Amino acid sequence: MSHWRRKLVLWMVMVIQLSLFLSVFSTEIHARKFLKDNHINTNDVRLHISDRLVVIYNGLVEVTIENPSGYLIGIKYKKMQNVLERRNHNSNRGYSNFLEYWDIVWDGNSYDKLETKHVEVITQTNDIVELSFTKTWNSKNHGKTIPLNIQKRYIVRRGISGVYMYGIFERQEDFPKAHMYQIRIAFKLKEDKFRFMALSDTIQRVMPRSEDRVKGHTKPLDFKEAVLLTNPPNPKLKGEVDDKYQYSTENKDNKLNGWISDHDSVGFWIMTPSNEFRTGGPHKQDLTSHVGPTALSMFVSTHYTGTEINTFYKEGEAWKKVFGPVLIYLNSASSKDDDHRKILWNDAKRQLSEEIESWPYNFTRSEDFPHSQQRGQVNGQLLVQDRYMDKQLMQAKSAFGYQFWTQTDEIGRFNIKNVRPGVYNLYAWAHGFIGSYKLDLDITILPGNKIELDTLIYYPPRNGPTLWEIGIPDRTAAEFFIPEPYPQYVNSITNDGADKFRQYGLWDRYSDIYRDSDLVYTVGTSNYSKDWFFAHVPRKIGDDRCRPTTWQIKYNLQDVNNRGTYTLQMAIAAASFAEVEVQFNDPNSDRPHFTTKRIGYDNAVPRHGIHGLYRLYSIEVPGYRFRKGSNTIYLTQTRSDNSFEAVMYDYIRLEGPNSLNN
């Protein structure tokens, strides 16, 4: 492209941006004049629609949405004309140029940013405005857009300084098949304002800016998301690693994340009062906020699980689902208050508590989002019986059920409230026990009904008495040895002991600790919190080459039943393109006694997750393979193309032959 053409394109973009700004400014002036001339209470919720823009205001926030695309392009709060970044207008249609966007990743790496075609006013009163931006899929767009009918809904309420957002997605039977790998809402905030990120009481920090991550300011690390800040404009960040996966969290904890503008003492928060619309269960991990400043509301993704739980629909399968509502909440503190960050964070937690208490919302006006009186409830008690641990029934305290999740109390009682009408399966797992419970009956929830289940008893997998065990059956590798991070790759935000596993580069520490030979664990002598590395990774041997690793478990047996059957219970907390071969006392056999074959896509090791998808293998072994006295089990992770082909073990137990009468 010639020089003058580049100038022409630049001027065209500037004109488009200026046109949008003037249009928004004109709409705002017109709206305020209308309120003043008609003596309208500025606390009322008001709506103004033009050919290009839709503006909703309630005296606290002013929300501007592009008409008819449904893109949220402006949120005015206090003296901030727009909390969203507006340097790049979405008319550029570059993926990174959107201020706010829904998106779905589908059929490979195709992105659909869910641009809509129509706007409809659902509710308009002095107390609430609800809008629906819609698009109906057309077969002419086959292969170009996701085969879904789309509704993006926005709600502004009196007295709430924010905007509620939810989506209703529908597939009809004649729609073509489709994979959906990711569904989310993303926000790009003003980079010169929002510098402080908060995800929890302990995960809070001043964040790098996008410019801190560019060439000349960073050293690239093992994957594109991770960089070492070598020369950032903010010298306090020099020498730290920045990687968006270090800020991931589990669904059950992912209720509140956001940013603070210190200069304005303003907070921007994403609140998720319910997890009913997310996939993957309570311990599914996902992204939150990261450099941008970017704030995410994740609904569906393959992070930490791989494609094994992606959403796939065949042709002929109808489907409809509501994602949300989530609340985008803004708050402020006095600029004179030195502790404004704490004030904003605590106020956001207070508002979140109110949103959780109000769930399911009664102000939405979609028949696809049932209110409280249209939902049902399931009550029951879960007990566990493992005869080799305790002949008495044991309470399954702190067990989880999903996709409507709850946690049992100290005696195993559970109450799953506000369940949408439908047919469900009941699953659970209990801390300290391997495997999962599944009720053999379907549960049908009708509007308003309350189901009381009999006491449920879970018999976890068990074939014989415990001879020895390694770890805790909790579906994570958190109890195993987490090494100290490399001093040059530290992120100060994850120095807390509970988050130590999120430090960058821990996988390479295995090759430092076990430089010449692999891990050997001796039952009765070794301590799994010190001697069992958290991830079974390949060992680096130089020139970016890796080799498979074989771990040994050494133990003694006083007696051996040659005619009996022993069982090795091997629970895996994560796996990524890995294969574990198991041998008993003979590492040189032509064929392993057992192999998992290639398993896993969760990539939990480089993404700093202490677990991914759970797997349990009950490996039966004839008694003649054991010896009286010294024995060794060999665990070989055979894949070694890179450092991330690995497994994380949750728990390993050797059981003797069954010694109890049935």
Q: What is the pLDDT of residue 40?
A: 54
- The closest alpha carbon to 341, from 198, 199, 190, belongs to 198
Q: Is 330 inside a domain boundary? A: yes
Strands 545-547 and 615-622: unpaired
Task: Specify whether 239 is located in the same domain as 332.
Answer: yes
Q: What is the pLDDT of residue 97?
A: 52
Confirm if 137 and 149 have CB atoms less than 8 A apart: yes
Residues in CB range of 31: below 8 A, 6 or more apart: 46, 48, 55, 57
Strands 285-286 and 376-386: unpaired
**End-of-domain residue from the set 358, 382, 414:** 358
The C-alpha atoms of residue 616 and residue 575 are separated, in whole angstroms, by 12
Name residue 250's amino acid. E
pLDDT one-digit tens code per residue, 647-659: 999 999 999 998 7
pLDDT one-digit tens code per residue, 314-355: 888 888 999 999 999 999 998 767 799 999 999 999 999 999
Q: Is 19 inside a domain boundary? A: no
The C-alpha atoms of residue 189 and residue 261 are separated, in whole angstroms, by 10
Strands 266-271 and 319-332: antiparallel
Going along 162-291, which residue ranges are E strands?
162-171, 178-188, 194-198, 204-206, 218-220, 226-229, 241-243, 249-250, 256-261, 266-271, 285-286, 289-290
Task: Specify whether 271 is located in the same domain as 402.
Answer: no
Cα separation values, 607 from 224, 452, 612, 647, Å: 12, 41, 10, 13
- Supply the DSSP symbol for 477: S
10 Å Cβ neighbour count for 36?
10
Angle at alpha carbon of residue 636, lines to 632 and 639, rounded to 5°:
175
Task: Specify whether 336 is located in the same domain as 452.
Answer: no
Confirm if 603 and 576 have CB atoms less than 8 A apart: yes
3-state secondary structure 330-376: EEECCCCCCCHHHHHHHHHHHHHHHHHHCCCCCCCCCCCCCCHHHCE
Q: Is 28 inside a domain boundary? A: no
Task: Specify whether 222 is located in the same domain as 347.
Answer: yes
Q: Is 8 inside a domain boundary? A: no
Task: Specify whether 156 is located in the same domain as 90.
Answer: yes
The C-alpha atoms of residue 284 and residue 308 are separated, in whole angstroms, by 13
Task: Specify whether 213 is located in the same domain as 318.
Answer: yes
Task: Specify whether 336 is located in the same domain as 414.
Answer: no
Q: What is the pLDDT of residue 430?
A: 93
**End-of-domain residue from the set 404, 438, 458:** 458
If phi over 0 gives left and psi between -120 and 50 gives alpha, with beta otherwise, what is residue 59? left
Q: What is the pLDDT of residue 30?
A: 54
The CATH number assigned to the domain holding 484 equals: 2.60.120.260
Q: What is the pLDDT of residue 539?
A: 94
Task: Specify whether 334 is located in the same domain as 302.
Answer: yes
- Buried b or exposed e, range 132-159, using 16+ CB within 10 angstroms: bbbbebeeeeeeebbbbebbbbbbbbbe
Confirm if 287 and 188 have CB atoms less than 8 A apart: no
Question: Which ranges of 439-592 does DSSP label H, i.e. alpha helix?
Answer: 509-513, 528-531
Q: How many domains does the chain have?
A: 3
Task: Specify whether 418 is located in the same domain as 480.
Answer: no
Q: Is 291 inside a domain boundary? A: yes
Sign, CA torsion 402/404/405/406: negative
The CATH number assigned to the domain holding 439 equals: 2.60.40.1120
The C-alpha atoms of residue 80 and residue 250 are separated, in whole angstroms, by 32
474: tokens are 């909790």
Q: Is 0.85 surpassed by the pTM of this model? A: yes
The C-alpha atoms of residue 318 and residue 491 are separated, in whole angstroms, by 46
Residues in CB range of 585: below 8 A, 6 or more apart: 625, 626, 627, 631, 632, 633
Name residue 478's amino acid. A
Task: Specify whether 317 is located in the same domain as 422.
Answer: no
The number of CA neighbours under 13 Å toward the Cβ of 95 is: 8
Cα separation values, 134 from 74, 94, 152, 324, 453, Å: 19, 22, 6, 16, 41
The C-alpha atoms of residue 181 and residue 176 are separated, in whole angstroms, by 16
Task: Specify whether 69 is located in the same domain as 150.
Answer: yes
10 Å Cβ neighbour count for 39?
6
Task: Specify whether 88 is located in the same domain as 193.
Answer: yes
Q: Is 137 inside a domain boundary? A: yes
pLDDT one-digit tens code per residue, 194-241: 999 999 999 999 999 988 888 888 999 998 899 999 998 888 899 999
Q: What is the pLDDT of residue 402?
A: 53
Name residue 411's amino acid. I
Q: What is the pLDDT of residue 262?
A: 95
Low-confidence stretches of the chain (pLDDT < 70) are 1-41, 87-98, 310, 336, 390-402, 495-496, 660-662
Name residue 368's amino acid. D
Q: Is 29 inside a domain boundary? A: no
Q: What is the pLDDT of residue 278?
A: 92
10 Å Cβ neighbour count for 341?
17
**End-of-domain residue from the set 299, 331, 358:** 358
Domain that holds residue 295: 46-358
Q: Is 246 inside a domain boundary? A: yes
The CATH number assigned to the domain holding 163 equals: 2.70.98.10
φ, ψ for residue 9, nearest 5 deg: -60, -45
For residue 68, cis peptide bond before it (omega within 30 degrees of 0): yes
- Supply the DSSP symbol for 17: H
